Copies of this chain bind each other. A is one copy, B any other.
Amino acid sequence: MEKIITVTFEPEGRRVRVQPETSIFQAAREAGIGIRTECGGDGTCGKCRIIVKNKSVINEVTDAERTHLSEKETDSGYRLACRTIPKQNITVMIPEESRIGARKIQITGLERPVPLNPSVKKFHVVLPKPTLSDVRPDFKRLLDHLADAYGLKSLEIDYEVLKKLPDILRDADWDFTVTIWDGHVIIAVEAGDTADKLFGLAIDIGTSKIVGYVVNLMTGQTASIGSIENPQIMHGEDVISRITFAMAGGEKLKVLQKLAVEGINDVLHEACTQGNVDSNDIYEVTVAGNTAMHHFLLAIQPKYLALSPYTPAVKKPIKVKAKELGIKIHRNGAVYVLPIIAGFVGADAVGDVLSSGIHESKEISLLLDIGTNTEVFVGNTEDILSCSCASGPAFEGAHIKHGMKAVTGAIEKVRISPDTYEVEYETIGNVKPIGLCGSAMVDVVAEMLRSRIINHHGRFNPNLKTSRLKKVNNIPEFVLAGENETATRKEITVTQKDINEIQLAKAAMFTGCSILMKRKNVKRKDLDRVFIAGAFGNYINPENAKFIGLVPDVPTEKINFVGNTAVTGAKMVLTSREARETAEILSRRVRYIELAIDPDFSQEFTRALFIPHRDLDRFPSVKEHLERLE
């Protein structure tokens, strides 16, 4: 029997089984993944670039590849898909530039206006020259002027700037522009009036995606946006695999740091090019990200985030020089990493709260930032509680038989006729489907419950009369799309295990919500607003989310999708020192609840595994709907 080779494509996480001697390019076609090509796979155009980490399972680099790839690139694992033949099971990363029609994952988020008061400011200065009657040292001369003209006191100067100060001032004929960071450090002195060239960069390092806003700090407006897949993905799709990789010791943690920095530099480059901004005019970067990304970027030992009791190294914001990390903004530019709340409630969560403004309102809000870990907040201006739920990657397509990320070819919306069991779906990019993404899974579970294909336990109805219900190895599956409809020419189905994965994920989130609400003594009816943040959130059907018990049963108009509020939070602290102070207060004030030690956790979780819940009175609208169906 001939050996079959499994090829896994990242970042989709899509798998395909191919015959030996099949090229990666062909495998991608079979998997329905679009890879760029001009020559059609002849090895002449050089467009089908891929990255293979484990070089031992593929053929040697060919001459054709050497003409299109530099030695540095091949050393880093770059290959051409059409010239690469796997010898064993393999994981292949398809970089952004090689992808056809990749849909941008949600990269923007809700923004709340803040008064413009950035941490970096510029001052145009003209000084009198020294004379024998006025021999003040250069720096003192500058300080005296800044104190007199702008009331700036207790200023320091970056040592690198001080070294060159005597030459800079004289070469500029004492007409120059001073850049002051954090209210007290002079980080640049430039000849002439450059006060209008003042930009910042707000970054969110997501586990999957790095997003950056280049912001004009004279106006507070976003000049341009860049985003890429987080290149750390080659060392694990989820946080725990990457921590495990870093724990292997040696320089592994530095590898992750370097990848995060390279990712930020790529985003920076993209955004600067689009916005026509010189990266040397960017003086500060603010960074949000979950605690693991935070530790990776700063090369802080992340091991103990993965080991009980999951303690992070630091809570306070971190200020470092950009060049210390290797971020290619102005050479004396600074990095401000937002503070964190707890081990699994990170700097991104601080951004969520800041952007949603739940801390400024008397209204009681529930905020969920849905991801592999879902952060939940309940509270208002008086007090906010937070927790982290291990919701898992099911909504990102992992652990789901035909699951995939929300990229081109993913089914994103599903409707099932309760009478005929016929399926209607929409795919991202309006192409033939390859698999289904998280928002489709929410629809599928809701629609299957409405159609009685599954019951409250999530179990398939064995008596269903439809050809869409199949059994594979005696396990039931429901066919969403037949072979002739799909790009892969294989059926796309939903299995019993898929339903169970979604049950686990939504139960984890709902348990977080209900424990926080109980601790805060908030009832469902007391909730004034529900915010759903995160890339996934924006595409889900809120009715279906309630129907499967993912969020509490509140009127739909109370549900707000706020998108990537981590990056907008980073933007807020970039443009406003007051917001920065608020972020620091929030990191101390928001109380973290450790779900694992809550006495009600097991019971709440077990009950939430039902669809929507064991206690249907908690979901009156779903109860009513189901009763109508009876």
Footprint of B on A, CB under 8 Å?
Answer: 130-141, 157, 159, 162-167, 170, 298-301, 303-304, 308-316, 318, 320, 324, 340, 342-343, 592, 594, 596-597
Complex contact B162–A311 (CB within 8 A):
no
How far, in Å, is A307 (CB) from chain B's closest CB?
10
- List of B residues within 8 angstroms of A134 by Cβ: 309
Complex contact A164–B131 (CB within 8 A):
no
29 contacts between A and B (CB under 8 A): A130-B309, A132-B308, A132-B597, A133-B597, A135-B311, A135-B343, A135-B592, A136-B311, A137-B313, A137-B342, A138-B314, A139-B315, A140-B314, A157-B314, A159-B318, A159-B320, A162-B313, A162-B318, A165-B300, A165-B313, A165-B314, A166-B300, A166-B301, A166-B304, A166-B311, A166-B313, A167-B301, A167-B303, A170-B304
Closest to A305 in B: B166
Q: How far is the CA of A546 from the CA of B594 in the complex (A)?
A: 81
Closest to A253 in B: B163
Q: How far is the CA of A134 from the CA of B342 in the complex (A)?
A: 11
- List of B residues within 8 angstroms of A304 by Cβ: 138, 166, 170
Q: How far is the CA of A299 from the CA of B318 in the complex (A)?
A: 29
Q: How far is the CA of A139 from the CA of B314 in the complex (A)?
A: 5
How far, in Å, is A108 (CB) from chain B's closest CB?
30
Cβ-closest 6 pairs across A and B: A139-B314, A166-B301, A137-B315, A132-B309, A130-B311, A137-B312
With contacts A159-B320, A166-B311 known, what are 7 further pairs, Cβ within 8 A? A132-B308, A135-B592, A137-B312, A137-B314, A137-B315, A163-B300, A165-B314
Complex contact A316–B131 (CB within 8 A):
no
Decide: A162 near B309, CB < 8 A? Known: A132-B594, A133-B597. Answer: no
Q: How far is the CA of A157 from the CA of B315 in the complex (A)?
A: 12
- List of B residues within 8 angstroms of A312 by Cβ: 137-138
Complex contact B340–A137 (CB within 8 A):
yes
Complex contact A311–B159 (CB within 8 A):
no
Q: How far is the CA of A543 from the CA of B222 in the complex (A)?
A: 77
Q: How far is the CA of A587 from the CA of B593 in the complex (A)?
A: 53
Central interface residue in A136, A157, A159, A165, by most chain B CB within 10 Å: A159
- List of B residues within 8 angstroms of A299 by Cβ: 163
- List of B residues within 8 angstroms of A316 by Cβ: 139-140
Central interface residue in A138, A164, A310, A342, by most chain B CB within 10 Å: A138
How far, in Å, is A8 (CB) from chain B's closest CB?
32
- List of B residues within 8 angstroms of A131 by Cβ: 309
How far, in Å, is A553 (CB) from chain B's closest CB?
31
Q: How far is the CA of A135 from the CA of B304 in the complex (A)?
A: 11
Complex contact A140–B315 (CB within 8 A):
yes
Q: How far is the CA of A313 from the CA of B135 in the complex (A)?
A: 11
Decide: A138 near B324, CB < 8 A? Known: A132-B596, A164-B301, A298-B163. Answer: no
- List of B residues within 8 angstroms of A300 by Cβ: 162-163, 165-166
- List of B residues within 8 angstroms of A141 by Cβ: 311
Q: How far is the CA of A159 from the CA of B140 in the complex (A)?
A: 30
- List of B residues within 8 angstroms of A135 by Cβ: 309-311, 342-343, 592, 594
- List of B residues within 8 angstroms of A132 by Cβ: 308-309, 594, 596-597
- List of B residues within 8 angstroms of A342 by Cβ: 135, 137
Q: How far is the CA of A521 from the CA of B300 in the complex (A)?
A: 62
